[in-house]
Structure formats: C-alpha cells, structure tokens
Amino acid sequence: MPTFAAQAQLPDLLLSSPVRIVAGLAAGVVLAFVLARLLRPRGGASASVVAVAMAANLLRIGLFSVATFLVVHGLWLLEHRVDLIGTLASSVLAILFSASAYIAGLFIARQFLAPPWWRLNAWDPAVEFGRDSFGITDAVRWILDDVRELVLGLRLVDRIVVLGAIPLAGLASMQVFGVTQTLVVAHATLLVLYVALVVALFSANRIPRVLLTRLQDLRQVARRIASGDLSGRVGYLDTAEYEELGELVADFNSMARALQSREQENAALTHQLNQALQFEQERASRDPLTQLRNHRYFQEALAAELYRCSRTGEMTTIAIIDLDDFKAVNDTYGHQEGDAVLIRTAQAFTQTLRPYDLPARLGGEEFGVIFPSTSPEEAKVVMDRIMQVLATAGPEATVQTFSGGIATFPIHAREQSMLYQLADSSAYAAKMNGKKHTVVFDPGKVSNVAEDDRVNTRERDSQLKAAKMLVQTVDTIEGMGSEHSENVGRISARIAEELGYDDTYSRQMYLCGLLHDVGKLGLEQSLIQKAGQLTPAEFEQIKRHPDLSAQIVMNAGLGEIAGWVRHHHEHFDGSGYPHGLAGPDIPLGSRIVLAAEAFDVMTSDRPYRQAMSLFDAMQELTRGAGTRFDPDVVAALVNLVRLGEVKPAGGTAPGSSDRRRAA
C-alpha cells in the first residue's frame, strides 16, 4: 500500500508557474486589504496601538501555525517507518485529515443552512485582532458551536445519517478506493463548497451594505420629515436589482408625498379657517345694524389707548352719547324708522369724526367715541359738529338731538372704569338739564352718578315724558292749543338767561314753565273750560292746581322745581295764592313763570277773547310791575321782546331755535 504522504501531492497543474503567479498576486491583494483594515484606527485607538496588537496576534498565529506544521511534519516522517509506529502515524494522519474534512463539511453546511451574514458585517478585524489575546480558542468554540447547533437542529433520522452513515460511508470509500483518493475527493469537494461559501459571503456582504446605505438614506429623510420638511425623498439608486428594497423606497416616498399633500391640504384648510375666524371676530366686534364697533370692542380699544397714553403721557378723551327721546321715535314711527335713525346717526359719526377716532354703538340708543390725543375742549367742538349733522337724521328728516358727556384721561380719571363712569354721568347730567347738548365733566357741576341714581334718572325721564303729555292734554282742554305750556317754558328760560343765570338754571326754568299747570288735570274739565266769571267756590277749586302741579313734579324727582311750581301764582305784593307770599319770599323761578305765563296768555287767542297786541301786552306787564309782577323780571322780558328774542305765542328756546323736542 503506498504511503499517505506520497499520494497527497498537489497535481502538476496547480504547481505550474501561471497558477503560482496568480495565487501569489491574490495573496498579496488579500494581505494588503487585511493590513489596511487592521491599521485603520478604531474606537479612539491610534494606528501604532493597533499595529502593536496586530503584530502580537500575528506572532501567536505564526507560532500556532509552526506548531501545527511540526506536528503534521513529525507524523509524516514517522509514517515512512515500516514498523508499528509508522502504521500508527499513518493512521493518525488519516484520522486527522478525515476528522478535519468531516468537521469542515459540517461547518460549511451550517453556514449554507443558516448563514450568519450579520457576523460578516459585525466582525471588524481591527477590533478582533487588536485584542490582547489571540482568539483561536474563540474560533474553535465558534466552529464547534455551529457544528453542534447543526446536529441538534436536525431530525433524528437526519442526525443518525450525519453522525453514523456519513462517517461509515467515508470509511467504506477509503476501503474501496483508498485513503488518499477518498481524502482528495473530500477535500476537493470542500474546496468547491468553500469557494461557493466565499462567493455567497461576499454577495451577502454587498446586500447588507446596500441595505444599510438605503436605510441610512431613509433615516435621514425621515429626520427631515420629522423636522417639518416634507419635500424629502429617497433615491432609487442600487434598488433596481432588489425588488423588496425598491418597493420599500417607493412606499416610503409615497408616504412622504401623501404627508406633503395632507400638509398642503391642512395649510389650505388652516388658511380658510383663519380667514373665517378673522371674519367672525370682525363680525363679533361690530354692531350688525349700524356697522359701528360694539361695546366689547370699545372697552378693549379704550384699554389699549389708555395703556398707550400712560406710556407716552398723552391725553385721551371719550364721549358717551344718548339719543334724546328715542323711545318716542319707536313708539310714534315704529322700530323700522327707529333703526333708520340709528343708521343715520352712525353715518353722521363716520362723516364727522377723524379717521383715527373710534365710534361705537354701546347698546340701544347709546353710542361712544374715543378721541385719541384730544383735549376735552376739542372733543366738545366735534360733538357740536355732530349735532349739526344730525339736523336731518331724525324721523322723516326732522332734527335728532342727543345728550352727550365727555371725560378725559388723565385729567378727570386715570382708571378706565372711572373714566367711563364720569363720561356717562356727564351724559346723564346733560339729559337732566334740557338734553340736546354735551357736558364736559366738571366735579363742581356734575356729580358722579351711581347706577341706582341712573335708574332713578331714567324713571324720572319717563315720568317727565308722561307729564309733558299730560300738560299737552291740559292745554288742549283749556282751549289754548297744545303749545301754551311749551311757550311758557321757552319764555321762562330766556328770561333766566337775560337775568344772567347759566344754562343749567335756564333749563330748570324751562321745565318749571313746561309743568306749571300740569295739576289742572285734577280739576273738573267744565271748570277749566268755563269762559265766564268764576264764582268764589269755583275760584277756590282753581287755586288748588298749583299744589297739585307741585305734587306731580315732586313725584317726578324735581324737588326744587316743584317749589317754584307751587308758588307760580304768588303776586309780588302778596295778593296771590296759595300762600300769599310777597317780594323776595317768592322763589325767583315762580316770579319768572308768572310773568312768562301772563305774556303768553295775553298774546294768545282764548275762547272768550282775542289776543292782545304786543304793545298792549307790554303795557299791561309794565303796569303790573311791583304789584303783580317782579319789576326786574318784567324789565328782562320787555327787553327780550324789544330785541325780538321773545315773540307772541312763543319764542326761542334756550340754546337752540327749537325746544319742541326737549323734555
């Protein structure tokens, strides 16, 4: 039988010069590639540290290889002996080569059946070879573990075949064909399998690298999308030959496009929503009838303006405006005409005010105006101009007036609520003193009206309106038309102004003259309408009307005026009624109304006589001065008549040419 060593020589083809050159070049390329990977610094280690560790490990590999070679070579030398030792050496060599081939075959099979492709990418020579100890033991344990996992993973029948049948078949082949031939075939087969495994490993190495590259792209694009940039897309490079990878990239890009489309839709919807919200906010801040700003916006704008003025030191004036007799407009002409009056009033504001002034409808017939950087005097001028524009804003193009109040920051108040309250109080003061004018807040003339007082004022205003209607009824019953009491009120106010009294007093005199005979409603109608001489008993009944009038005026909340009304038939010489007061004991208001009423009665037609001439009326007043009338009052009235400011059957109202709408 030929020796194992003699039969284990390489074929002549593999020993030829071309094959040697190719093998040498391949070995050089592999060595250069390994050295480049090993010398690359990893984990913060320098190249010198890695080189030293690599040299130590290569030395260990060399020693292990030399030791293995010496053992095999020693067995090969002993194999040439013809004694028992030679036989044992030959058997050991055959067992070693057979066992190595068997274990290598199982290991390669394990790689094909469950290829650990991840190990190839996770294994880093610079790290593995840079360890302090050579990993030969780890490599042996790795091989043995893979073989054990392969065997344990087989079914029982397959396990019997692998562990029993294959070794026995190999032994039978050695017996039939010889040990050398069997081992050559086995190692050649292993070489083919090894080459196939290397090709598979390199292919597997490329696949995960492509996957890692694409996954890295996916990761970067995902980060861009997460940061809000929905325009990011993953390229299709290197995905054509990998269908699943291409589908993944396509699905990812489809998702990104869907997100971008949804984002664009959301942006469009958000824009529409913001527009709708702005529209609703704009509509919520405006009065739907007049299109002026509403009360809430007025308060918010006033707060912002006061904050600005507190920082700049400027002043800001606000005005509160209450339309006069607006309830009568609704009651007489209907709410449709009342709405038209409100609209025309709003138009008067927009026509008169400056672009930076802010008018608002505060509710009902009440309006407000913010005058930025404006003094109270300047605001008063603008308010008077608005009153002029309203000359045709009333129902059926009649005059519409208002009662206005003005307060200024920081002159009158520094807090918003107090400033608004003072302007409101000033408007009520204007309302209580004849209406159709504007009052600038003055602590000496305008009291800060509390809410309860305002309620009382509204009630009093309603009572005055009712009293005026009653007065008109009295005038009609008495046969003096519906203008007698109105005329007495206007003449009384003009006499007060002629005597040097202010507007407040003159307006009080207007109310006194207007209401002086309202108590006649408590008398019998036949007594009021009697044209002939009154009997003493009837005259006693007539003498009751001043007290009745005073009681009605007192109930309307006009206490001081009620006293004037009570004594408006007292004569200067003490011959009047109801208490026979004389001279200065008679309130001035009573003395004024007495003269004003006498003038209007004398210059008006009555059922029982015609009106006196203006000259005769003046003569009658002059003759009664000092007895029936106050001489100073008569002198003032005569002077007004001579100047043409008071005329028969009425005259000019205080502060205006038309007092018919006053209350």
Residue 587 sits in a domain whose CATH number is 1.10.3210.10
Is there a single domain that holds both residue 370 and residue 495? no
The predicted model gives 414-440 an average pLDDT of 88
Residue 228 domain-assigned (yes or no): no
* Model confidence at 650: pLDDT above 80: no
Which tokens go with 532? 């002939």
User: Is the residue at 335 inside a domain?
Assistant: yes
Query: Are residues 386 and 475 located together in one domain of the fold?
Result: no
Could you read off the pLDDT of 617-643 as tens digits, one per residue?
A: 899 999 999 999 999 999 999 999 998
Helix (H, G, I), strand (E, B) or coil at 432: helix
Bridge partner list, 404:
321, 438
Establish if 279 belongs to a structural domain. no
Q: Which is more confident, 114 or 342?
A: 342
Same domain, 468 and 437: no
Which tokens is 350 given? 């927009």
DSSP-derived pairing of the beta strands 646-647 and 316-323: unpaired
* CATH code of the domain covering residue 405: 3.30.70.270
Do residues 641 and 519 both lie within one domain?
yes
End-of-domain residue from the set 167, 184, 217: 217
Do 385 and 512 reside in the same domain of the chain?
Answer: no
What backbone torsions phi and psi does residue 556 show, to the nearest 5 degrees? -80, 0
pLDDT of the residue at 659: 31
Single out the residue in 405, 433, 449 at which a domain terminates. 449
- In the sheet with 402-409, reading across from the earlier edge strand, the strands are 358-363, 366-372, 316-323, 402-409, 437-440
Q: DSSP E strands: which ranges in 364-441?
A: 366-372, 402-409, 437-440
Q: What is the mean pLDDT of residues 425-454?
A: 77
Average pLDDT for the chain: 78
Assess if residue 19 is contained within a domain.
no
Digit-coded pLDDT (tens) for 216-237: 777 787 787 777 777 777 766 5
Q: Do residue 130 and residue 103 come from a single domain?
A: yes
**Least confident among 172-181, 271-280, 298-307, 382-391:** 271-280
Give per-residue pLDDT as tens, 545-570: 888 888 888 877 777 888 898 999 99
For 144, the token pair is 């043995």
Asked whether residue 428 falls in the same domain as residue 484, the answer is: no
Q: Are the CB atoms for 506 and 513 separated by under 8 Å?
A: no
Q: Tell me, yes or no, whether 10 lies in a domain.
A: no
Task: Quote the number of domains for the chain.
Answer: 3
pLDDT of 374-391, one tens digit each? 999 999 999 999 999 998
Asked whether residue 425 falls in the same domain as residue 477, the answer is no
Residue 379 falls within a domain, yes or no?
A: yes
d(CA 492, CA 383): 27
Is residue 442 located within the same domain as residue 479?
Answer: no
- Is 631 a member of any domain? yes
Query: What pLDDT score was predicted for residue 177?
Result: 82
pLDDT above 90 as % of the chain: 23
Q: In this structure, is residue 102 part of a structural domain? A: yes
pLDDT at residue 38, rounded to an integer: 57
Q: Which domain holds residue 405?
A: 287-449
Going by pLDDT thresholds of 50, 70 and 90, the confidence category of residue 118 is: very low
Residue 609 main-chain phi, psi, to 5 deg: -165, 165
d(CA 263, CA 251): 18
Which tens digits make up the pLDDT trace of 338-357?
Answer: 999 999 999 999 999 998 99
In order of 174, 180, 183, 452, the CA distances from 166 in angstroms are: 12, 17, 14, 115
Residues 399 and 463 grouped into a single domain: no
CA distance 639 to 599: 13
Domain boundary among 416, 449, 482: 449
pLDDT value, residue 319? 95
Q: How confident is the model at residue 148 (pLDDT cuts 50, 70, 90)?
A: confident
pLDDT of residue 158: 82
How far apart CA 601 and CA 581 sit, in angstroms, is 23
The torsion angles phi and psi of 361, rounded to 5 degrees, stand at -95, 115
Q: Which whole-number Å values give the CA distances from 637 to 24, 511, 533, 622, 623, in the listed order?
A: 143, 18, 29, 10, 14
**pLDDT for position 593:** 92
Reply yes or no on whether the pLDDT at 14 is more than 60: no
Q: How does strand 437-440 pair with strand 650-651? A: unpaired
* Shared-domain flag, residues 384 and 523: no
Residues 384 and 457 grouped into a single domain: no
